[in-house]
Structure 1
Amino acid sequence: MIFSPQSRVWIYQSNRKFTATEEQEILQKLEAFTSQWKAHGNELMAKAEIRYGYFIILTVDESQAGVTGCSIDSSVRIIKDIEQTYGVDLFNRFNIAYKLDDEVHVQGKEDFETLVNIKNITPETIVYNNMVQTLQELETKWEVPFKDSWHAQVFAHLI
């Protein structure tokens, strides 16, 4: 399947890295979900992936059928089910992901602020903008240097 650059994406970031077994089980669950995901009876062209062991990414190409409130609700239900099953937090927007030494790390807002303060997070540190909305943005604006991110505006007083 080839997805349009304008395909919608939703990113759910875990507060901890999934184990290899968990990742495999979650992908099976998500594949079963996306293969039957519908909006008002129309099948959605959708896929799910996990990147870096932390990020669940759902993608829907709306060129065939558009996402509806009900279809979004059904995706949220499966994500909440994953949260419950694996004891992870996938909805806390105050958890911030960044890359250090080619490893993804996730910290709460206060701990991240401390890392910025003590210069462990530099203007060049890669951070993750989970608010991207399209496949094209995912490819170009998701992994960005701290200085070019919304994070820099929130923590501007520290840099």
Structure 2
Amino acid sequence: MIFSPQSKVWIYQSNRKFTEQETASIQETLNNFVAQWTAHGHQLKAKAEIFHNYFIVLTVDQEVANATGCSIDASVRVIKDIETKFGLDLFDRFNMAYKVDGDVNVVTKEDFETLISIKKIGLDTIVFNNLVQTLEEFEQKWEVPLKDSWHKNVFAEQLADS
């Protein structure tokens, strides 16, 4: 299925890595949800994908039908159900994700600051910009070097000291 570059995306980042069994179960739950996801009675052209066993990404092609308040609420309920069922935290925006040697790591904001100050994370470290809004942004600006991300401004003081 081809989606418009302007499709809306929502990214939910876990506080811990999903096991293979959890990934399969979560994907099945998400597939069942998007198969019946509607807005005002119109089927949404949607998909749900899991990336790096940490991220749930929901995509809706707004050129087919727009996600509305009620349909977005329905997606949040499914994510909260997944969170409860598997003992995850998918809504903590203060958890920071980054890559080292191709492996994804998620730490608290405080630990991220510490890793910068001890030079384990630098301007070239790949970070995840979960604030992207569209499929095009997701594909081009989701995994970026810290120097090209909003993280650079938030952690400017630590970066200056390192």
Task: Give the shorter-chain TM-score range.
Answer: over 0.9
- Alignment partners' CA distance in 2, 1:142 and 1:95: 15
Name the counterpart of 1:19: 19
CA displacement at 1:148 relative to structure 2: 0.9
CA displacement at 1:4 relative to structure 2: 0.5
- Alignment partners' CA distance in 2, 1:64 and 1:125: 37
TM-score when scaled to structure 1? 0.99
CA displacement at 1:64 relative to structure 2: 1.0
CA displacement at 1:110 relative to structure 2: 0.2
- Alignment partners' CA distance in 1, 2:65 and 2:21: 33
Name the counterpart of 2:145: 145
Q: Secondary structure at the match of 1:48?
A: strand
Q: Is residue 134 of structure 2 the alignment partner of residue 134 of structure 1?
A: yes
Unaligned runs of 5+ in 2: none
- What fraction of aligned residue pairs are identical, expressed as a percent? 64
Q: Is residue 113 of structure 2 the alignment partner of residue 113 of structure 1?
A: yes
Name the counterpart of 1:86: 86
**Matched residue pairs, number?**
159
Q: Secondary structure at the match of 2:151?
A: helix
CA displacement at 1:101 relative to structure 2: 1.1
Regions of 4+ moved over 4 Å: none
CA displacement at 1:36 relative to structure 2: 0.4
Pairing 1:50-65 to 2, within 5 Å after superposition:
50-65=50-65
- Alignment partners' CA distance in 2, 1:31 and 1:10: 15
CA displacement at 1:158 relative to structure 2: 1.5
Name the counterpart of 2:36: 36
Name the counterpart of 1:157: 157
- Alignment partners' CA distance in 1, 2:48 and 2:155: 32
CA displacement at 1:23 relative to structure 2: 0.3
